[in-house]
Amino acid sequence: MATLSGDQSSMSGGSQGWQLELFTVTAPQTQFTIGQQPATDLDGDALAILKLNGVTQQINVEYSHNYRTFTWISADALETGDVIEIFYQPR
């Protein structure tokens, strides 16, 4: 199991606003852990969006999510230098 080994930075849009955490991939990195657990909607889905190099990805197709950890599951491998952006509403 790969762990966070890339560079990580974060910024906040306020205590109740959306947050953004950025990761620069270090291959073969596949897992990204954010600072707080995302809130969920009424269906139990995480209020989170993952982008790869600026393109929004689909949950359960390109990535999965479990609490604070996002795992890349796509057959298309991440490459060193790719940028992962995770936008989320903290719980």
* pLDDT, mean of residues 7-29: 75
CA 1 – CA 51 distance, rounded (Å): 21
CA 26 – CA 71 distance, rounded (Å): 14
Q: Which residues contact 52 (CB under 8 A, 6 or more apart)?
A: 62, 78, 82, 83, 84
Tokens 């606003």 -> residue: 17
Q: What is the pTM of this model?
A: 0.80
Pick the more confident residue, 17 or 2: 17
Q: How far is CA 81 from CA 5, 8, 48, in A?
A: 12, 12, 22
Residue 27's pLDDT is 84
* pLDDT, mean of residues 35-40: 94
